[in-house]
Amino acid sequence: MKLFTATAVLALMAGLAIADDFPPVSVHLKIGGVS
């Protein structure tokens, strides 16, 4: 159980670290149908 919890925590930390590596995406939209 402890091993499972430790593995889950490490996986979560790795996921957060990867997410932190990527800067946000800038988006510019042109929307049709706006009167």
What's 33's DSSP letter?
T
Under the binding rule (CB under 8 A), the answer on residue 27 touching another protein is yes
Task: Please say which residue, 2 or 33, places its beta carbon nearer to another protein.
Answer: 33
Under the binding rule (CB under 8 A), the answer on residue 28 touching another protein is yes
Task: Please say which residue, 2 or 30, places its beta carbon nearer to another protein.
Answer: 30
Residues 6-25 that bind another protein (CB under 8 A): 18-25
Which of 32, 18, 27 has the alpha carbon at shortest distance from 10?
18
What's 22's DSSP letter?
S
Segment 20-28 long-range contacts (CB within 8 Å, at least 24 positions apart): none
- In the complex, which residues of this chain contact another protein (CB under 8 A)? 18-34
